[in-house]
């Protein structure tokens, strides 16, 4: 495995073989390991598997954790090598952005719900960097985790609208034994917060299992579980949305997604669950 830190070398590595990209911001954990191994299988023996590690400043809002975001390049590279990556792309901010770099705007309809309202500009930053990575690396396939479901929807839409020649694949969320979705931010939780955090998954499972078609009753019950079992957490949102459009749903009459963000102190955890239409 090699590490490339500049755009010029990254562009010139194109060897015509199928290329799979797993974009990350580093602070890699076992969940990323699974994503990278999955990318390896998609690339096959002869293809190239590239993991980008870039903490993208434009997707962090004021007061968010850009400065504090864990930077663990050596450990990240070991994990990438063990999971079968051929190349780690680790550029500096100056390699990616110029003063006059144009910003790509995320589809506004997809960001009216969930993380959109509380993270203004976040998805524009994600779209901007992902498009840049696609242009530099020219992958045939890019893999994104379904934990960031809205991000996956926004990137899929951008790729389709701009006709970028990349196939976007969503990979299942990887979980700890107690159900907590793996996240680079879990390391910020103290012992008490960590013990309460699995209530998020419990609440979403209950929301999915409920039989009432109305979303409001399900949301109420799930919210009660989080309030009761994770009193250190504050719910930023708990919503049921249409899986394709990300618009809020009152009744589960088409494929839905229940998603939540819960803050433990400054640590914001997100998770979601797919729900089939009640017919």
- Per rule CB under 6 A, is residue 107 in the interface with ligand PAF? no
| Residues linked to residue 142 through DSSP beta bridges, in sequence order | 21, 168
According to the binding rule CB under 6 A, does residue 24 interact with ligand PAF? Answer: yes
Please answer whether residues 35 and 156 qualify as being in contact, where contact means their C-beta atoms are separated by less than 8 angstroms: no
Catalytic residue among 29, 32, 90, 122: 32
- Nearer Cβ to ligand PAF, position 95 or 210? 95
Residues 158, 127 contacting (CB under 8 angstroms): yes
Nearer to ligand PAF, 134 or 210 (CB): 134
Check binding of 260 to ligand PAF (CB under 6 A): no
**Shortest Å distance, C-beta 99 to ligand PAF:** 20
> Which residues are within 8 A (CB) of 118 and not within 5 positions of it... i.e. 6 or more apart?
236, 237, 261
Q: Report how many residues bind ligand PAF under the rule CB under 6 A.
A: 10
- With CB under 6 A as the contact rule, the residue among 95, 107, 124, 148 that binds ligand PAF is 148
8 A C-beta contact, residue 125 and residue 59: yes
Which residue in the set 23, 84, 116, 233 belongs to the binding site for ligand PAF (CB under 6 A)?
23
HSE (side-chain half, CA atoms, 13 Å) at 276 = 2
Residue ranges in 44-83 that form contacts with ligand PAF under rule CB under 6 A: 56, 59
Q: Return the range that interacts with ligand PAF (CB under 6 A); candidates 2-10, 122-130, 195-203, 209-217.
A: 122-130
- Residue 242, token pair as written in the block: 């249409």
| Closer to ligand PAF by Cβ: residue 59 or 272 | 59
Least distance (Å) from ligand PAF to the CB of residue 143? 10
**Annotation says 32 is catalytic:** yes
Choice between 105 and 212, CB closer to ligand PAF = 105
C-alpha distances in angstroms, 4 versus 8, 11, 34, 38, 115?
A: 9, 10, 22, 22, 32
Parallel, antiparallel, or unpaired for β 267-275 and 256-264?
antiparallel
């Amino acid at each position: 495995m090699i590490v490339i830190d500049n755009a010029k070398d990254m562009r010139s590595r194109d060897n015509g073989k199928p290329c799979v990209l797993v974009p990350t911001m580093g602070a890699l954990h076992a969940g990323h390991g699974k994503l990278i191994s999955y990318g390896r299988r998609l690339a096959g023996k002869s293809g190239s598997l590239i993991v980008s590690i870039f903490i993208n400043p434009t997707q962090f809002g004021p007061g968010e954790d850009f400065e504090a975001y864990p930077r663990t390049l050596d450990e990240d590279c070991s994990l990438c090598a063990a999971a079968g990556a051929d190349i780690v792309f680790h550029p500096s901010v100056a390699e990616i952005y110029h003063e006059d770099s144009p910003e790509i705007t995320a589809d506004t309809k997809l960001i009216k719900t969930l993380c959109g309202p509380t993270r203004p500009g976040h998805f524009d930053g994600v779209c901007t960097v992902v498009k840049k990575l696609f242009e530099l690396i020219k992958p045939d396939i890019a893999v994104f985790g379904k934990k960031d479901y809205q991000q996956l929807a926004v990137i899929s839409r951008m790729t389709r609208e701009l006709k970028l020649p990349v196939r976007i694949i969503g990979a299942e969320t990887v979980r700890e034994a107690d159900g907590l979705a793996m996240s680079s931010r879990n390391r910020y939780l103290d012992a008490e917060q960590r013990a309460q955090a699995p209530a998020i998954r419990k609440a979403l499972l209950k929301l999915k299992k409920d039989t009432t078609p109305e979303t409001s009753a399900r949301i109420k019950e799930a919210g009660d579980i989080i309030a009761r079992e994770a009193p250190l957490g504050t719910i930023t949102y708990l919503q049921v949305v249409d899986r394709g459009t990300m618009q809020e749903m009152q009744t589960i009459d088409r494929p839905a997604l229940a998603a939540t963000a819960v803050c433990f102190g400054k640590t914001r955890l997100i998770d979601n669950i797919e729900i089939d239409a009640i017919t």
